[in-house]
Every structure is written in C-alpha cells, then in structure tokens.
Structure 1
Amino acid sequence: MKTENPGVQFVAITAENAGQRIDNFLRTQLKGVPKSMIYRILRKGEVRVNKGRVKPEYKLEAGDEVRIPPVRVAEREDQAVSPKLEKVAALADAILYEDDHLLVLNKPAGTAVHGGSGLSFGVIEGLRALRPEARFLELVHRLDRDTSGILLVAKKRSALRALHEQLREKGMQKDYLALVRGDWPSHLKVVQAPLLKNILQSGERVVRVSAEGKPSETRFKVEERFGWATLVKASPVTGRTHQIRVHTLHGGHPIAFDDRYGDREFDSQLASTGLARLFLHAAALTFTHPGTGETLRMEAPLDGALKQCLTRLRQQTKK
C-alpha cells in the first residue's frame, strides 16, 4: 500500500479480492463507515479504480489499484443514518444481475415495490437513490410487499416495452416457491379459477374466486413433503393480483403466514420453525434479454428465515 496526500490510500488488488464488488470491498476497508457514505463517495467519483470512476457493481480484478479517500465519520453522523438510507444500501446487496438494459433484484420481504399508500419508500425509489445517474428505471412487473424474490427493472424504455410484450405474450416463465398447509395432492397440477379483485374502503385489495372474474391459471409441482405441510413450485400462466395466494387457498392449501388468505392454526403449528413471514418466494425467472436476444434464467436464493424454516421442518420430519 502506498500513501499519497494526507489520508488518501492506494490499495493494490490481489487475486484474493478479485471478483469482489467495489462497494463490498470498501465496506471491509472502511469499517464503521455507514453504507450511505460509501455509496456517496462512489457516486461522487472520490473512489477511483486505475484512476477512473466506477459504479458500485464494478467487480475488482487482480492488479487493479483502488484510490480510497480519507473518510471522517462523526459519531453523530454514524448514528443519524436514516432507516431509508440503510434500506437503499441493502438493495445494493440484493442486486443479482445488471447491465445497460436491465437490473434483476432479489427483493427482500417486507419491502414494497414502490412508495404510496402511506409508504415513503419502495424498491423503485431506493434504486433511483442508488443509481442517481440512471435516466430511466421502471418496474417490469410487481411483487406483493411480503413476497420476496426476483424483481425485474428496466433501465431503458425500449427494454421495458420488449419485456412487457413478453409478459403479454406469456413468453416469460415465473417460478415461485410456497409452503402450503397439508399434503398437496400430486394430481393437482393446474388450478384454473377466475379471479375478481375488490378494493375495500380502506384501500386494501382483496381477491376472490368468482365466475365474474378474469380467467386465471397457475401450474403447481410438489417439491418437498413434510406430512402436514408441502413445499410447492407455483408457476403462474396469467398475472393477476394475489393469484398464487388465492389459487392455493382455492385448492384447499393456503400459504404459510398469509395475513389475508391464510390459516392462523397452520401458522401456529409452524411457530417451532421460527417463521414469521409469508412463505412465498419468486425463485426463478426465465426471459429473453431485450438487447441480446439470448434466453436468461435468473435464480434468487431463499432468505435466512425461509431456509431455517425448511431445515427445521426436515429435522422434524425425520424424527
């Protein structure tokens, strides 16, 4: 390491750090510095790699030279980092893939896709704060606030149009994982039940099966059985609001910890697993890249709470 100017550091990247994102590398070098400040110095170009500006997602290569500016953190500033900024930084860690056309995120459970309805923060607002230089960032599709997993964001209007067309033409394959009540029957591979959306006075959306509703179809496959609960893969053919949640309920097997369509008794049975959130996760997405035309399959790993739940169910099933 050589030093030039008071407080400025120049770090040579070895093979050990090669492949690591610059934002994650800086977090190890600048311990105690708020994530928000790390993204700020990256955005302002105070951090340089080989004398050039880089984006937070830049992956270091062996031989790179990183310029790290002096960072002074007052105790008060460290404590005053707002929850909103912390959420923005967390979104950076959730990015699975990014190029000039699109961004793929493993959305955390509990984060809305956009602000509104009393929420000041959503994924799209967070990404715009994280990528202030991006002229265009728009959601391609949506996920319920309590659902985790793959979320696709377009970075160009042409990409948004192309991806929306794939959705309309059913050229996009979405696969979710859901933990449902009871023993899902192997022969129940498709649920076709029209769905009608009602908006309550509170503004809350409630969906039910109704002959007056829109045609809706979800395909199901059993992934794992636990006797009194089943892990299923759900692949929606149509894209209605709350579709998987209502179709599993219609099939007699509501999803764990679904506060709108679930079963409290089933939820209480799962208490020993530590689960306290909706077990619905957008696990994989297959689509055609709007720029290159190649078929991409993106997979989002389960978060710690869902992994722990499955591990404990497996342990209980073996007993």
Structure 2
Amino acid sequence: MKQDNQSVRLLTIEAEHEGQRIDNFLRTQLKGVPKSLIYRILRKGEVRVNKKRIKPEYKLLAGDVIRVPPVRVAEREEVLPSARLDSVQGLESAILYEDDALLVLNKPSGMAVHGGSGLSFGVIEGLRALRPQARFLELVHRLDRDTSGILLVAKKRSMLRSLHEQLREKTMDKHYLALVRGQWQPHQKVVKAPLKKNELASGERIVRVDRDGKPSETRFRIVQKFDGATLVECSPVTGRTHQIRVHTLHAGHPIAGDDKYGDRQFDEKMREQGLGRLFLHACRIRFFHPGREETMTLEAPLEPALKKLLTRMAGA
C-alpha cells in the first residue's frame, strides 16, 4: 500500500541532527521513497532550507527550517517475502562487530546498501528487519552494490556524527583489495585524477576523469602478482563515487569483473577462472570509537570463492 503526503511539510532541525547531510536526512524522513526521487526534488529546488535552494551535500544546522514537498511514500512492509528473509538471516552471520552504538558488517557482493533506483530492499532495510527494536540505524558510508566488505552502520546519532567527522577530516583509513588487469608497476603508488559524474541518455550514471571534476586521490600497494593480473591494496584518500574503479581504469588496470569500467576480454578470462563478480573488497578499516575512546581496526575476510580464485591463479 502507499500513502500520499498531500501538503508541504515544514520541519525544524533539532540539535541532534546538526551536521547531517540533507539527502541523508530526507531518506530518514521519507521512508520508502526511492533515492532517485529524493535527488530529483533536491535538484529541482522543491526542497528548501530557510527558503533557499540547497545541494544534496548541504550540512544541516540546528534551527534550519526544511520545506519538504508532497511526495508519494511507500509504507514499510510488515512481512518480508521469503527470498528477502533468506537475505536478512544471512546478514546476521555477516556481522563483524556490534555494540550499543555501532554495527559493522561484511557486506555481500550483489546486495545494495539501501533500496531505491528500482530496488525495494537493501542492507539497511535488512538490518532494520533484523533489529526491529533498534530506534536508530543509519549508514555511515556506502559501498557499490557489487563491492563486498566492511560497512559501518551507526546505531546512535552521536556515533554517526563522530564517524562522519572522521570521514570529513580524513582520519578514517579504509583499505580495499582489487584484482586488476596486467602488471601494476611498483612506482605507481598514487593516482590523483579529478572525477566528475555524468548521466547518460539512458539515465545511467557514470564517473569519468575530468579536469573540471572533484579532486580525488587513491593510494596503491602491490599485494601479489599473477600471470596477466595483479592483486592490489587500494586506499582512497577521498571518497568519490566509483573512485577506485575509475582510478584503476585511468592507470590502465581496470578491475576484474567490472561491467561498467572493465575490460571485456580480461573479464572473460577471469570468468573462465571462476570469477562471477566484481573483484573489489573493502578488507580493512581503522577509526576512532568515541564510546570506547580507542582506535579500532577491523578486517573482513575475502569470501571463499575469491580466495579459491587467487589460489588457482597462483598455481597456474
């Protein structure tokens, strides 16, 4: 079922929401509304802050008055279909760490972090079904649908604010493993290439290196070399959409199994070796936990199929 908000709503921001991005705030207020629609009403200026147009990355301030236009809101499903139940139950075994303020997940490849853009179900919806008693569950950051690995989910607003500040100040370290085409050269330790989002005629979004794009930086380290491929550790300094995937391509070494930025001939060879997904995995993260008052380092193991692939390639 669906319900309509027929009139404009004016929301005053409380202190606990200060520092949150407007797009993330709207996602919590407009449950069931596709992400694409939220960005559309932002782009069109239908959402106003203090009677002014704002961008999706605008950070809220206490006392801000938000104009939310009438939108069609899907009521949350009380019962998940059986296929989704399997996914939800699978998330329980993917939890790497949990306390009263934070949940850390080893996200499976192929699962979106949230519903929207034609998907009604994602990790955050699954976790809310898994933890119905949790009053607050919000993504700290995002991973592409086909990327696996560490995903932080805040269970308290204070934790979300602290981790977002660490992301802004670049004090949070994130590391990924990627299998790329060809022999990565040891001297290629950093890729600095500005990135710009583009929308194709089909509506698909793609990111390209563009001098007018946003400054972007990724650091690389060789982990293991194979015949025709290299396993590299990637450390993004900035956090742009598809950053690692586009920076590896820009360096001449696209990631295996990347249907958007990859090399078809290389991908076919990897499929013959048993690869059935994008080989990009968020393997390690380091951040300061304000509740425990200590720096934490968490690691997420590669799934067995990827480990088996690397073993097979090493023996070839």
Name the residue aligned to 1:156: 156
Q: Counterparts in 2 of 1:213-292, with a 5 A limit?
A: 213-292=213-292
CA deviation profile, 1:190-228 (whole Å, cap 9, x unmatched): 000000011234432200000000000000000000031
Name the residue aligned to 1:310: 310
Look at both structures and tell me which one has the larger radius of gyration over its CA atoms: 1
AA in 2 matched with 1:144 = D
Superposition deviation, residue 149 in structure 1: 0.1
Name the residue aligned to 2:299: 299
Distance 1:108 1:209 in 2: 28
User: Do structure 1's residue 103 and structure 2's residue 113 form an aligned pair?
Assistant: no
Paired residues of 2:222 and 2:230 also in contact (CA < 8 A) = yes
Q: 1:202 to 1:134 in 2, by over 3 A?
A: farther
Superposition deviation, residue 268 in structure 1: 1.5
Superposition deviation, residue 123 in structure 1: 0.2
Specify the SS of the correspondent of 2:166: helix
AA in 1 matched with 2:287 = F
Superposition deviation, residue 273 in structure 1: 1.9
Superposition deviation, residue 269 in structure 1: 1.6
Paired residues of 1:221 and 1:234 also in contact (CA < 8 A) = yes
Specify the SS of the correspondent of 1:312: helix
Structure 1: stretches of 5+ with no match in the other structure: 1-79
Specify the SS of the correspondent of 2:180: strand
Distance 2:199 2:84 in 1: 29
Distance 2:103 2:232 in 1: 27
Superposition deviation, residue 272 in structure 1: 3.3
AA in 2 matched with 1:110 = G
TM-score by length of 1: 0.73
Specify the SS of the correspondent of 1:136: coil
Paired residues of 1:101 and 1:290 also in contact (CA < 8 A) = no
Name the residue aligned to 1:115: 115
Specify the SS of the correspondent of 2:218: strand
Distance 1:310 1:272 in 2: 13
Superposition deviation, residue 94 in structure 1: 0.3
Paired residues of 1:273 and 1:308 also in contact (CA < 8 A) = no
Structure 2: stretches of 5+ with no match in the other structure: 1-79
Distance 1:231 1:142 in 2: 23
Paired residues of 1:175 and 1:233 also in contact (CA < 8 A) = yes
Q: 1:201 to 1:132 in 2, by over 3 A?
A: farther
Paired residues of 1:223 and 1:232 also in contact (CA < 8 A) = yes
TM-score by length of 2: 0.74
Specify the SS of the correspondent of 1:183: coil
Distance 1:150 1:273 in 2: 25
AA in 1 matched with 2:252 = G
Distance 1:114 1:97 in 2: 20
Specify the SS of the correspondent of 2:267: helix
Distance 1:96 1:179 in 2: 23
Name the residue aligned to 1:206: 206
AA in 1 matched with 2:271 = A
CA deviation profile, 1:40-60 (whole Å, cap 9, x unmatched): xxxxxxxxxxxxxxxxxxxxx
Distance 2:130 2:227 in 1: 44
Paired residues of 1:256 and 1:278 also in contact (CA < 8 A) = yes
Distance 1:109 1:214 in 2: 27
Q: 1:200 to 1:286 in 2, by over 3 A?
A: same
- The aligned length equals 237
Superposition deviation, residue 122 in structure 1: 0.3
AA in 2 matched with 1:226 = F
Name the residue aligned to 2:142: 142
AA in 1 matched with 2:312 = R
Q: Counterparts in 2 of 1:15-54, with a 5 A limit?
A: none
Name the residue aligned to 2:194: 194
Paired residues of 1:105 and 1:151 also in contact (CA < 8 A) = yes
Name the residue aligned to 2:133: 133
CA RMSD between the two structures: 1.1
AA in 2 matched with 1:222 = I
Distance 2:200 2:282 in 1: 27
Superposition deviation, residue 81 in structure 1: 6.5
Name the residue aligned to 1:51: none
Distance 1:191 1:308 in 2: 29
Percent identity among equivalent residues? 71
Distance 1:204 1:260 in 2: 10
